[in-house]
Amino acid sequence: MKKKSKVTAGNDIIHPLIDAFDPAVDLTYTIDGILPSGYISRDAIANGVIVNVDPWAALKNGDKLPTARNYPRVYVTLDDSDGPNPENPATYLLAKGNVLPVWTADEIANGFSLVLDKTLLTEERHFIILFLMPVDGNNEQGIPVSFNLLKSPSGGTVLPQLKFDVKYHNDGITKSNLVVDPQDPNKEILPATLVAYFKQRDGDVITLFVGDSIATLSAQPVTVEIGANESGQNKALTFDSSSFEDGLNGPRYFAYTITNPAGFISAMSEPTILQLAFGVRPIGLQKPVLPEIKNNLILDQFIHPLHIDIPIYDNPGLGDVINVFFKPADDLASDGKLISTSPGLVDLTKDPIYSAEAIYNQIAPFDQKSVVIYYIVSSGGSPLLNTTSSALTIPVDLRISGGPNPDQPAKENGNLKTLIITSGDGELNKITGPAVLKDAEIKIPFKTVADSTYLEINDVISVTLGKTTITYPALSTVPAADVIEVLTVQSIKDAGEGDMTAQYTIVRKLPDGINSSESLSRKTDVFITSNNSNPGGKDGLHAPHWANKNDRNAINVSSVSTFKGCIFSVNRYENIAIGQIIQLKFRGTEGYGDPNGPAKPDASYDSDPLTITQNNIDNPEFEFLVPPLYIYNLCEGVAHVSYEVIVGGIPFGSAALLTNCDVTSPSSGLCILPDKFK
């Protein structure tokens, strides 16, 4: 919008601070972007205050021919009644024209614009006054044009938060503490107070925002205006309950912005957070359950990680949040330490309704003491509408041979060195040919990686090799050197043939004389074959390879989608023969990057047997496809891929390929088999 001023023949329009001149010309001028409120709009002021001077009729019509004597000059002053002095430029802000005839034909016909630098102006009401001054020195003044100038938003750098009655902070927003709308008895409202803010003005428009997080804050359809004479005062306002009561219990964020009369919009205020607490508290909570713990004692072997089940309660609701806590049994007054937080509940029929995990570092502070485990269920995530469960108190003893275990969350104790097997023919970690018919030797290191002794009298050592486990008599003395045990021919036979792993376990009675701790060494690879009959030759069958491996070397959604599963290839091996059978074996364990995690039975897949025939015996490799179902069942963990070659009914296992797998959805975090693979 433009506000126009016109020079007329009368002198009855006089600003209190401005002396009137008897104008003698018909001249009008305007200022760009003046709103009905008298403010120049934010967009118009961006490039300065623009004064548009319309054509001067006397010049345009030729009534006054431009000559050096009568060519007019135009001057603009600000908030000043005195006429400008051409000899003193400080008396005017803008000028047009000179003693020489510099007017162009376009300016004579259409007028011109002058721009006033906004940095010269303060944020207040101003008057623009235009003068015509021909060479004869007679000033002719236009009617002053007033405008209000703003150059920045209201509110200052940080807006004050919205204020709510203390009951809404203490009790949350409940059905009982909402207020009936006096304008509509069928509506309920939440009253709030807008605190007076910096540069508050009549005509400021307040836009209210509501959301269940900062990211979801959305503007409400009804705005609030600062009315006449309300500047500098707190203002009562309300939120319609329909703007925040839909959805789950939990936090609600309330904020606002200010649009001042010039159209400048402030940054959003810091949100005020209240809790929506409709409905009832969760009821029927039972004690947490430790499904793997025996004899009511937490031992090291069960904390990699420790599984904690939360039984289903009487009234689970969508969005309920479960927080699991630990605290020491000898200091019940202390604050509980948060161990795990569930996402908002979606499946309300599962039992347990939620399963949490605690790792070594969370449990270690309670070693050789008792820990109190409990949980709090918040309805919809609201901390005001929650219930605390009964507590489970259970002793903890994490002492293990060679401990503590530094390699969390792996079950193997990284402090223990690996065993060494020496065949009857002197082979290290390999028993081949005639050596399978001779007893072998197993060496158990008596010192840890840190070069300290750890074995004690009555410790029991057991060795797992391939398919067999051998338990040796308890130690009768404290070893002063590595422990040497015999691996009998029968144990070698029981272990099977091919590539396998070996590790040892130290079992020690705890001081209570009842319970025992276990310390498990890391695995070492061992190869066994009799009379070089292994189809892979003396070195055994090599691991398969992932034919469509991506640059991340991890099975992901993209690789499964592209190849409709995963293709693994078995290279042609040394002693391949017609009639042999190859079968791929895909197994999965929990824990991304941890090959020693718990097995996931649903992620086990055996391929259809492939028989070596005259037609395929010369193939350089044999491909096997693992369907998407088993990969999605694995979800996030480690894939163990190997194969067996069956010769005359005897299976020979290959080394295993280990690769990470993660087919979780980026949005939901779940592993959901796409419909196209069902």
CATH fold, domain 545-677, is Immunoglobulin-like (2.60.40)
Give me the percent of the chain exceeding a pLDDT of 70: 88
CA angle 249, 252, 257 (to 5 degrees): 165
Q: Do domains 420-529 and 545-677 have the same CATH topology?
A: yes
Q: Report, at the CATH architecture level, how domain 298-397 is classified.
A: Sandwich (2.60)
Q: What is the pLDDT of residues 537-550, one digit of tens each?
A: 877 899 999 987 77
pLDDT in tens, 103-161: 677 877 888 888 888 887 888 888 888 777 665 555 667 777 888 889 899 998 899 99
Quick one: which H or E segment has residue 584?
strand 581-590
> What's the average model confidence in pLDDT over 510-519?
89
**Which pLDDT does position 518 carry in this prediction?**
93
Name 479's Cβ contacts closer than 8 Å, sequence gap at least 6. Answer: 446, 453, 455
Is the pLDDT assigned to residue 406 strictly greater than 90? Answer: no
Per-domain boundaries in the chain: 3-148, 166-276, 298-397, 420-529, 545-677
Rounded CA-CA distance 645/576 in Å is 9
What pLDDT, on the 0 to 100 scale, is given for residue 606? 97
What's the rounded Cα separation, in Å, for the pair 567 and 626?
6
Supply the DSSP string of 95-122, one letter for each residue: EE--SS----HHHHHH-EEEEE-GGGS-
Please name the helix (run of DSSP H) or strand (run of DSSP E) that holds residue 109, with its range, or none.
helix 105-110
Q: What is residue 81's predicted lDDT score, i.e. its pLDDT? A: 55
Q: pLDDT (tens digit, 9 = 90+) per residue, 320-345?
A: 999 999 999 998 888 899 999 999 89
Does pLDDT of 361 surpass 80?
A: yes
Question: Residue 407: what pLDDT?
Answer: 76
Q: What is the mean pLDDT of residues 186-196?
A: 94
Average pLDDT, the chain: 86
Please check the confidence at residue 70 and state whether its pLDDT lies above 70. Answer: no
Q: Output the CA torsion 533→536→538→542 (10° steps).
A: -150
The residue whose two tokens read 């993209």 is 558
Q: What is the CATH number of domain 166-276?
A: 2.60.40
The string of pLDDT tens digits covering residues 71-114 is: 566 777 777 656 566 555 556 666 666 544 466 778 778 888 88
Q: Which of 439-443, 529-533, 560-564, 648-652 shows the lowest per-residue confidence on average (mean pLDDT)?
A: 529-533
Confidence of residue 513 (pLDDT cuts 50, 70, 90): confident
Q: How far apart are the C-alpha atoms of 177 and 189, rounded to whole Å? A: 10
Going by pLDDT thresholds of 50, 70 and 90, the confidence category of residue 437 is: confident
- Fold for 420-529, please state it: Immunoglobulin-like (2.60.40)
Confidence (pLDDT) at 87: 56
> Residue length, the chain?
678
| 585-630 confidence digits (pLDDT tens) | 999 999 887 888 889 999 999 999 999 999 999 999 999 999 999 9
Q: Which two tokens stand for residue 381?
A: 């995530």
pLDDT average, residue stretch 416-444: 93
Q: What is the pLDDT of residues 467-490, one digit of tens each?
A: 999 999 999 999 999 999 999 999
The pLDDT of 289-316, averaged and rounded, is 93
